[in-house]
Structure 1
Amino acid sequence: MNHLTAAPPPAPAQVPAAAVRHPLRSAAGLVGDTPVLWIGGPFTASGRGFWAKLEGHNPGGIKDRTALHMVRAARARGDLVPGARIVESTSGTLGLGLALAGAVHGHPVTVVTDPGLEPLMTGLLTAHGAGIDVVTAPHPDGGWQEARRRRVTELLAAHPGAWCPDQYDNPDNVAAYAPLARELVAQLGRVDTLVVSVGTGGHSAGVGGVLRGHFPHLRVVGVDTTGSTIFGQPAAPRLMRGLGSSVFPRNVAYGLFDEVHWVAAPEAVWAARHLARHHYATGGWSVGAVALAARWLARTLPADNRIVAVFPDGPQRYVGTVFDDPYCHRNGLLGRPPADDPDEITDGRDRAVARWTRCTRVTDPLARPGRHDLAGAAR
C-alpha cells in the first residue's frame, strides 16, 4: 500500500528586521517615519515629477509631531503641570494632535475653533475626548484667528493652571519638525528644493532650517493662500483652512524662503482632485496648493533637481469640502483649472492677488526691529 505523506508546511518568510515596526505601548509611537512617494505623470509633465512626504500617515496629520513635542517640552520645563488643561486655537489638525498628546500624557484638552470647522473634524475631536469651544463672530481686524486667540485668553483665566501651546509663536513648534527633516535625508539622500505650506510657520522653518544645514544650496518655496497676510498681502476672506493666516506668527522664518506662491481655492481643489484620481495619495487645501507649486517647479527646474513637497495631511477631513461636488459648486470651485504658469509680482505688497501667483522677493511685511530668524533654530 502506498502511503501519502503530507508535504511539510513552507517555512515562514524571513522579513528583515528593519522592515518591521515593533509593537507599541503608546499611541505616540504611531507618529513619524512617514513614507515618501514619487508623484509623476499624468499629474506632472512627462518625465518630470517630485517626491511627496505623506504626513497624512500620522494618526491625525503633520501636527501630531508638534503637539507631542510642545507638550513634552512644556512638561519638562514645568510650564504644564500633570493633569492641567491644554487650551489652544486651531482650525482642526493641531486639535487632533493635542487630543493625542492629552491622551498620552493625561491632560484634558479644549480646542477653540470657529464655525468653519468641518462636522467630520468636530466628530473626531469629540470622539478623542477634546472639548470644543466655538467663537461666534470674527474679530474686526484679525478675523476668526484673532477671535479664537482672544477666547483662548478668556479660557486660560477661567481655568487656573491651564496651558496654551501658542503654536503661532512657540519655538518648540519649529523644533518639533527636525525629525521630519532627518527622515527626508535618510529616505532621499539629497534634497535640492523643498516646497512647504505656510500657516503658523512651524514646519516650514523646522524642516527647511535643518535641511539647509545639510544642503546649503537648498531652495525653499513657501506656499500660501490668497487672502492671507503672512507675506504682505491684504487680509481677505479665506475659504481654505490649514494654511495662511490673518495674524503674523513669529515662527515664520522669512529669511529662509527663496520664493512664495499664493494659490486660490479652485486651483487647490483642482490639484487635490487630480492627485486623488491619478496617484491615490492626496489631501486637502494645503496638499493641493503645495502640489500645484511642486508640479510647476518639476517642469521648470532642471530634470535632476530633487524636489520634495510636504503633504501635511490626507483626504479624510475634506470629504465634505474639497471632494464634495455640491459644496464645490456652491463655492464656485469646479471648472476653473489653474493656468500653466503662475502670475508674477515683484513684492508681496505690490497688489492683491486672486489667482496662483509667484514672488521671488520674500520679506517680513512688518519688518520688526530685533526680530530673530528661526530658520536655524532646529538645526
Structure 2
Amino acid sequence: MRTSLSANDSTLPEGALPEQVRATSRGRNPASAVGNTPVLWIDDQNAAPGRGFWAKLEGFNPGGMKDRPALHMISRARQRGDLAPGARIVESTSGTLGLGLALAGIVYGHPVTVVTDPGLEPIVHRMLAAHGARVELVTTSHPRGGWQQARRERVQQLLAEEPGAYCPDQYNNPDNVAAYKPLALELIDQLGQVDVLVCSVGTGGHSAGVSRVLREHFPQLKVVGVDTVGSTIFGQPARPRLMRGLGSSIYPRNVDYGGFDEVHWVSPAEAVWTCRRLAASHHATGGWSVGAVALVAGWLARTGPAGSRIAAIFPDGPHRYFDTVYNDDYCAAQGLLDQAPAAEPDVIAESGDRVVERWTRCARVAIPSEVRA
C-alpha cells in the first residue's frame, strides 16, 4: 500500500522559513521551496497487514533535509550580527549541508566556501560549484578525528585568512537543532500522532530538534537513533566509514544522548540492500541514511506494539548516490551486493561491549566517556 500526504500547500507551518523569506513564500524566493515535505506510507512485506511506518521525504527539499538548518543558522547569525552583510560563509560538510549553505548564500547574498574530503560524490561537487560555492578539498585524514577533524582544521585556517568570515559550526550550533521545529510541526499536522521517531544521527541536529518538539505533544514518544558501523557517536571505536551523511569521527555537542531510547548501528551492505528494495517496492528511496533508517523502522513496525504510529526521517533522495548505492560495479567492488540483512538485529547490552560489524541494537544509550570528559 502506498499513501501520500502533504501539509497544506498554500501556507507553511509557523517558523518553517526565516521571517525574511516567509513573506515571499509563494515562489519568488528559492527558499520558498524548502519545507512542507510529504510523508509516504511504507508497508513491510514481512510484517502482518497494516504494519509499516510513515517516511518523511526530506528529499523533496531542493538540496535535502539540511536546507532547513542552513537557512536557519544563517538567518540567526545575521540577526545576531555574527555574520555581516556580504561576508563569507565557511563550513565543513560531507555534502548535503553544503548544498543548503549554497542556497542560503544565494538567498542572503553571501559567498560560500565548503570544506570537504575525497569521499564527496562528483555530482555534489559539481552542483556545489554550479550553485556558486567554492569547494575546498582536504587530502589527508586526521589521525584521530578522521576526515571530519581534518575538514574542521582547514575551516579554522580559512577563517583566519579572511577576517569577517563566519562558520555556522553545524556540529555544535544550537541553531542547527532549533531549525527542525518546523519539521516536527509538519509531522504533527500530517500524522496527528507520533509514537516512535526513527532518525539517523550525524551532527545530532535533526534527531534532537524533532524529538524535543514532538515530546512536548507526545510525552511517551520513543526515539530510536540510527548510526553506522565505524562511528564514534555512541561509544564505538572510530574506524574508516564508507557511509556518508550519518555517523561521526568526532563528538558533536548537538547529540542529545538523553533523548534516545535505543540506538542501532547498520552496515553499508545492509543499507544498500534496503535502499534498493525501497526503490523497487515503493518508488521512494535515498542514500545511506535512508537505507539505514528504513531497515530499523521496518523492524520496529514488525515487532512493536500493534497500532503504533512510527515516523522515520528520510534525509534525502537517491540522486547523489547514482554512482555508489545504485552502481552495481561500485557495490560489487566494495562487497555490498546481495547481502540481505538478518531478520533481527544483533544485540549488545552496552555500546562498548564489542565492536559491531553488522546491524546491532543497544537499548541502553550512554554518554561516551570522551564526551563526559
**TM superposition score category, shorter chain reference:** over 0.9
The equivalences for 1:115-154 within 5 A come to: 115-154=118-157
* Cα distance in 1 between the residues matched to 2:46 and 2:343: 12
The yes-or-no answer on 1:234 pairing with 2:215 is no
Following superposition, the deviation at residue 232 of structure 1 comes to 0.1
Is the contact between residue 9 and residue 36 of structure 2 (CA under 8 Å) also seen in structure 1? Answer: no
Following superposition, the deviation at residue 46 of structure 1 comes to 3.9
Is the contact between residue 43 and residue 278 of structure 1 (CA under 8 Å) also seen in structure 2? Answer: no
Go from structure 1 to structure 2 and tell me whether the alpha carbon gap of 1:45 and 1:320 turns closer, same or farther (over 3 Å shift): farther
- Counterpart of 2:169 (choices 166, 170, 175) is 166
Partner of 1:60 in structure 2?
63
The yes-or-no answer on 1:218 pairing with 2:210 is no
Partner of 1:296 in structure 2?
299
- Counterpart of 1:275 (choices 269, 273, 278) is 278
Partner of 2:45 in structure 1?
42
- SS in structure 2 of the partner of residue 168 of structure 1: coil
Partner of 1:88 in structure 2?
91
Partner of 1:198 in structure 2?
201
Following superposition, the deviation at residue 302 of structure 1 comes to 1.5
Structure 1: runs of 5 or more not aligned: 1-17, 372-379
Which entry has the higher C-alpha Rg, 1 or 2?
1
Partner of 2:348 in structure 1?
345
- What percent identity do the matched residue pairs reach? 68
Following superposition, the deviation at residue 42 of structure 1 comes to 3.1
- SS in structure 1 of the partner of residue 369 of structure 2: coil
Is the contact between residue 230 and residue 246 of structure 1 (CA under 8 Å) also seen in structure 2? Answer: yes
* Cα distance in 2 between the residues matched to 1:319 and 1:44: 29
Following superposition, the deviation at residue 44 of structure 1 comes to 5.2
Which residue identity does 1:50 align to in structure 2? F
- SS in structure 2 of the partner of residue 290 of structure 1: helix
Is the contact between residue 197 and residue 243 of structure 1 (CA under 8 Å) also seen in structure 2? Answer: yes
Is the contact between residue 90 and residue 112 of structure 1 (CA under 8 Å) also seen in structure 2? Answer: yes
* Cα distance in 2 between the residues matched to 1:134 and 1:366: 31
Following superposition, the deviation at residue 336 of structure 1 comes to 1.0
| Deviates most, 252-261 or 43-52 | 43-52
Following superposition, the deviation at residue 19 of structure 1 comes to 4.7
The yes-or-no answer on 1:323 pairing with 2:303 is no
The yes-or-no answer on 1:245 pairing with 2:254 is no
Is the contact between residue 271 and residue 292 of structure 2 (CA under 8 Å) also seen in structure 1? Answer: yes
Deviations 1:48-69 (A, max 9, x none): 1000000000000000000000
The alignment's TM-score, normalised by the length of structure 2, stands at: 0.93
The alignment's TM-score, normalised by the length of structure 1, stands at: 0.91
- SS in structure 2 of the partner of residue 194 of structure 1: strand
Alignment RMSD (CA, Å) = 1.3
Is the contact between residue 43 and residue 274 of structure 1 (CA under 8 Å) also seen in structure 2? Answer: no
Following superposition, the deviation at residue 47 of structure 1 comes to 3.1
- SS in structure 1 of the partner of residue 275 of structure 2: helix
Which residue identity does 1:182 align to in structure 2? L
